[in-house]
Structure 1
Amino acid sequence: MSSGAEVDIHEELAGAAVTPLHKTLGVLITLITLFDGYDTFNPAYVIQYVKQPWGLSPSQAGFLVSSGLIGFLFGAMGHGMVADRYGRRKTLLAGLWIVNVLTLLTAMFATTYASFCGFRFLTGLGLGVLLPLGTTYINELAPQRVSNSFSLWGVTFGWSLGGVVAGLVGVFLTPTYGWQILYFVGTMSIPLTLAVHAVLPESPKFLAARGRLEELRALMSRLRPERRAVYATAVFRTTERTAPKNTIAALLAPRYRRVSLTIWVTAFLTLFAIFGLVGWIPSVMIQRGESFASGFSYGALMQATSFIGGLTLATLADHGFAATPRLLGAWWIIGGIAVGTLLFVNSHAFNFAIVAIAGFFVIGAQHVLNNFTANSYETGFRASGVGMELGVGRVGGILGPYVIGLLQQVTGGPAAVFWAIGGSAIIAGLVIGSLSMQGKSAQASVAPAE
């Protein structure tokens, strides 16, 4: 074997055409993140049904959303170390089975506030695996020239579509079948998990980093069939280290420290805004005079426009990785200002337009931040990097629905929703935009490690 050609795994993947296998794996990740998005956002449609029977205050109602995010925090921060050591595939499947089982248990046995929050926390442990690891997997697979767009279609489309489906189930099925139908529909992820077992291979970059050459040769021959003969005897070269024992220390090493801290602060602020927005916007719009169906439809609207906004931003980012922080900053500042205008105007057409804009800019930019994070680290701790970004961000996501509910409780009205969300988005835009103000040396530090 040593007489074979030497090939660099990163160059091979970066220069590949988008093959049917790329598309198949992209569809699988899309479906996985669809159920992630669906399960993440459906508690917003439970609030209206249980707040009176369970005697909930606004802050307690907000915790219905936050409880799952607490589990997500632990899942996202802990899964990266597991995935970087034992593989993307095994860890992803474990997360799926956690979500499958706990979703079914929620539908059948969550009859009180405490039991619902308990089941949501445990479900969140699995959800904390799906989105960050799906992002990592796609970024280790996609050709470099289309990595942002491929990630948006492979991860964000599914996540956004899941939020839309949650809204549609909330509007059309919960009035007849109760809020439990949200979770019975969610168990449709079980057949998907069986398909993932059968079809999903391990990440090629992980295989290369672990020296699993026979599996790597077979997979690369499917990803680039025109080079099958080369791979049969090739020596695969990678410049990366194996996973460090302390991945957190690696993320805070001098090369990555500023980027990591900036990403974490940004994610905290943006997910505070995003989960405050999606958790409360249906109820708040009903308070502002919208009908039940109209109020619930705003959640679906935001998810639909978030994909369009994310895809637009990703297309721009694909033309220049170093410009991504500036683009992200602009997206969040525009979105934050738009949300703030809801303080001054209340009409159906205006509400509709601003919620669509908020989804386009505020939520849409988050998807590109996830991809920017994945591209900022080496394979050996990339999953940990994305997991930490979303884990720290979920602290903001946990606080968003709860704190905004508490602010409404204290102030006696929904205005606090728009102050808190708009302000957080604007500050996040300024923070991430600061990366582009450091000059060429800063741009070099955030360039892909590969």
Structure 2
Amino acid sequence: MHSDTIDVNDELSDAPVGAMHIKLGILLALMTLFDGYDTFNPAYVIHYVRGPWHLSLQQAGLLISSGLVGFLVGAAVHGAIADRFGRRITLIAGLWITTVFSLLTALAADSFASFCTLRILTGLGLGVLLPLSTTYINELAPRRVENTFALWGVALGWATGGAAAGLVGVFLTPYAGWQGLYWIGSLSILLIPFVHLYLPESPKFALLRGRESEVRDILAKLRPERAHLYRTLSITTTPVREKTPFLALLAVPYRGLSVSIWLASFLSLFCIFGLSGWIPTLMQARGESFGASFGFGALMQVMSFVGGLICGRLVDRTGRPRFWLCAWWAAGALAVLMLVLLQSHWADLVCSAMAGFCIIGAQFVLNNFTAAAYETHMRATAVGMELAVGRLGAILGPFIGGALQQTFGGTHAMLLAIVAAAAGAALSVRFATKSIGCDFDSRGEAQDASASTSAVERLHRKAVATSSKAV
């Protein structure tokens, strides 16, 4: 870096965690709190509506999955929108959509069809909040704590929201009915003014759009001790590239990386939503009380953050994300297998906690891994596609779980399917590497990859051109 030039990537990567980082982390955590809360609500609705709405087990699974259909669409398209119009405006739009349709669910959902329709529409907003918050915070996080910071800023909110859904299910729904879940969810309207006021644009995105003065202001807030330099020195500009088409994610050198990440996400979210969606019903069938059965869902979410935080910390310290993700999912598969083999209250408690710790915790780190694996101009598209493909697994998890219970007359077949999926995710992530450049498994290899930058850039430009023609 020249003495008269500021490199925005270095400024963000080398920054100490300051007051602005903490403020943004809290804001994003609150946004993803409502995402996690709303995502897991339907698991606590089944108890109240399955009888009155005369639902089969397969329909009950579809009730859980319906919001994820909208999530899939939102996650698939939001990346291209955010890469074109900006992270900030897309996040705000996602929060508005989630809030409005949560309120309408509480007011107007009075049948299986109306509930599922409103959940699909709510999912369009949910499909923005988690993946784009992950992209946003990874573009701001200092390099040395990027996984830990992202987990505190995004995963904590999402896990807390999921746990809150269980607590509301236990303590409020007996008095307010299942609609109480969505009255609480619509309180996200209180967050919207703060997001409008305090959420800046991603500085890397603003720089790609040539908005240098905006970048100076953001950097001055993130690193106030260097504000005097930002007023006088030149900010390094990166040439604005063509909008990244989806097919570029499947071109050299990204093909193997993308396919492996998508498969791992698909299998991981199959496990997460198959287990989380049915855990209250599963535990009641195993003899647990109403309150305890709902509490298992909250326990899984609390433990997921602890598991994600520890896994992320290990990744930051060792630089081996694929190794630790593989270990976490393999341990999660073992925990769910123990639910099949052991039948006791303490086995239910420990195995459910470990399933949340390992399987959901690993998914948080996979989101960060995906964001770090791609360049800035294609990052939102990549994270959006990872979670969009993953949501196919999330949709199928509860539905297939219900179908397996209905077919085999018990829960063992469903649990064994989750074991197989978690083991498959562990295997898939081991192949998540670029065909040229860094394979994300050691700091030394990451340094070696810098020597191949020009080759990667040439291949990328060729891939973008070819993909654009295909589109």
Question: What's the TM-score bracket when you normalise by the shorter of the two chains?
Answer: over 0.9
Q: Counterpart of 1:111?
A: 110
C-alpha distance in 2 between matches for 1:61 and 1:156 = 27
Q: Counterpart of 2:469?
A: none
Q: Counterpart of 1:200?
A: 199
Q: Which amino acid aligns with 2:176?
A: Y
| 1:77-97 CA-partner distances (Å, limit 9, x unpaired) | 100000001000000000000
Task: Give 1:41 shift.
Answer: 0.4
Q: Counterpart of 1:281?
A: 279
The answer on whether the counterparts of 2:29 and 2:154 sit within 8 Å (CA) in structure 1 is yes
Q: Counterpart of 1:364?
A: 361
| TM superposition score normalised by structure 2 | 0.92
Q: Counterpart of 1:42?
A: 41
Q: Is 2:409 the partner of 1:408?
A: no
Task: Give 1:245 shift.
Answer: 3.1
Helix, strand or coil for the counterpart of 1:46? helix
Q: Which moved more, 1:409-418 or 1:159-168?
A: 409-418
Helix, strand or coil for the counterpart of 1:442? coil
Q: Which amino acid aligns with 2:367?
A: N
C-alpha distance in 2 between matches for 1:193 and 1:391 = 25
Q: Counterpart of 2:50?
A: 51
Helix, strand or coil for the counterpart of 1:264? helix
C-alpha distance in 2 between matches for 1:290 and 1:438 = 50
The answer on whether the counterparts of 2:258 and 2:432 sit within 8 Å (CA) in structure 1 is no
C-alpha distance in 2 between matches for 1:243 and 1:97 = 30
Task: Give 1:311 shift.
Answer: 0.2
Q: Counterpart of 1:336?
A: 333
Q: Counterpart of 2:227?
A: 228
Alignment match of 2:415 (pick from 396, 413, 418): 418
The answer on whether the counterparts of 1:302 and 1:358 sit within 8 Å (CA) in structure 2 is yes
Task: Give 1:237 shift.
Answer: 1.6
The answer on whether the counterparts of 1:326 and 1:436 sit within 8 Å (CA) in structure 2 is no
Q: Counterpart of 1:272?
A: 270
Q: Which amino acid aligns with 2:297?
A: G
| 1:60-115 CA-partner distances (Å, limit 9, x unpaired) | 00111110000000000100000001000000000000001000000000000000
The answer on whether the counterparts of 1:84 and 1:243 sit within 8 Å (CA) in structure 2 is no
Aligned residue runs from structure 1 range 149-164, under 5 A: 149-164=148-163
C-alpha distance in 1 between matches for 2:434 and 2:87 = 35
Q: Which amino acid aligns with 1:362?
A: I
Q: Counterpart of 2:462?
A: none
Alignment match of 1:384 (pick from 356, 375, 381): 381
Provide structure 1 residue ranges, at least 5 long, that are not aligned to the other structure: none
C-alpha distance in 2 between matches for 1:437 and 1:219 = 32
C-alpha distance in 1 between matches for 2:282 and 2:426 = 25
Q: Counterpart of 2:167?
A: 168
Judged with a 3 Å threshold, the aligned counterparts in structure 2 of structure 1 residues 91 and 268 are, in CA distance, closer, same or farther, namely: same
Task: Give 1:250 shift.
Answer: 2.3
Task: Give 1:320 shift.
Answer: 3.2
The answer on whether the counterparts of 1:36 and 1:130 sit within 8 Å (CA) in structure 2 is yes
| 1:339-395 CA-partner distances (Å, limit 9, x unpaired) | 011112111111000000001001100000000000001111101110000000000
Task: Give 1:249 shift.
Answer: 2.4
C-alpha distance in 2 between matches for 1:262 and 1:28 = 31
Q: Aligned Cα RMSD in Å? A: 2.0
C-alpha distance in 1 between matches for 2:317 and 2:424 = 25
Q: Which amino acid aligns with 1:132?
A: P
The answer on whether the counterparts of 2:147 and 2:313 sit within 8 Å (CA) in structure 1 is yes
C-alpha distance in 2 between matches for 1:442 and 1:128 = 28
The answer on whether the counterparts of 2:254 and 2:434 sit within 8 Å (CA) in structure 1 is no
Task: Give 1:230 shift.
Answer: 1.2
Q: Counterpart of 1:245?
A: 243
Q: Counterpart of 1:182?
A: 181
Q: Counterpart of 2:312?
A: 314
C-alpha distance in 2 between matches for 1:193 and 1:410 = 45
Alignment match of 2:296 (pick from 286, 295, 298): 298
Q: Is 2:32 the partner of 1:33?
A: yes
Q: Which amino acid aligns with 2:46?
A: I
Q: Counterpart of 1:212?
A: 211
| 1:284-308 CA-partner distances (Å, limit 9, x unpaired) | 1101111111110000000000000
| 1:156-204 CA-partner distances (Å, limit 9, x unpaired) | 0000000010000000010111000000001110010111011111111
Q: Which amino acid aligns with 2:309?
A: L
C-alpha distance in 2 between matches for 1:381 and 1:437 = 15
The answer on whether the counterparts of 1:251 and 1:385 sit within 8 Å (CA) in structure 2 is yes
Q: Which amino acid aligns with 1:189?
A: S
| 1:280-333 CA-partner distances (Å, limit 9, x unpaired) | 011011011111111100000000000000000000000233x10111001001
Q: Which amino acid aligns with 1:357?
A: M
Task: Give 1:414 shift.
Answer: 1.0
Q: Is 2:424 the partner of 1:427?
A: yes
Alignment match of 1:354 (pick from 351, 355, 361): 351
The answer on whether the counterparts of 1:107 and 1:184 sit within 8 Å (CA) in structure 2 is yes
Q: Which amino acid aligns with 2:9?
A: H
The answer on whether the counterparts of 1:244 and 1:381 sit within 8 Å (CA) in structure 2 is no
C-alpha distance in 2 between matches for 1:347 and 1:403 = 25
Q: How many residues align?
A: 446
Task: Give 1:4 shift.
Answer: 8.8
Judged with a 3 Å threshold, the aligned counterparts in structure 2 of structure 1 residues 351 and 182 are, in CA distance, closer, same or farther, namely: same
Q: Counterpart of 1:138?
A: 137
Q: Which moved more, 1:435-444 or 1:11-20?
A: 435-444
Judged with a 3 Å threshold, the aligned counterparts in structure 2 of structure 1 residues 233 and 440 are, in CA distance, closer, same or farther, namely: closer
Helix, strand or coil for the counterpart of 1:290? coil
Task: Give 1:445 shift.
Answer: 8.1
Task: Give 1:246 shift.
Answer: 4.0
C-alpha distance in 1 between matches for 2:237 and 2:378 = 15
C-alpha distance in 2 between matches for 1:309 and 1:440 = 29
C-alpha distance in 1 between matches for 2:6 and 2:240 = 18
Task: Give 1:420 shift.
Answer: 1.1
C-alpha distance in 2 between matches for 1:131 and 1:440 = 28
Q: Counterpart of 1:79?
A: 78
The answer on whether the counterparts of 1:69 and 1:394 sit within 8 Å (CA) in structure 2 is yes
C-alpha distance in 2 between matches for 1:439 and 1:203 = 28
C-alpha distance in 2 between matches for 1:368 and 1:285 = 28
| TM superposition score normalised by structure 1 | 0.96
Q: Counterpart of 2:16?
A: 17
Helix, strand or coil for the counterpart of 2:373? coil
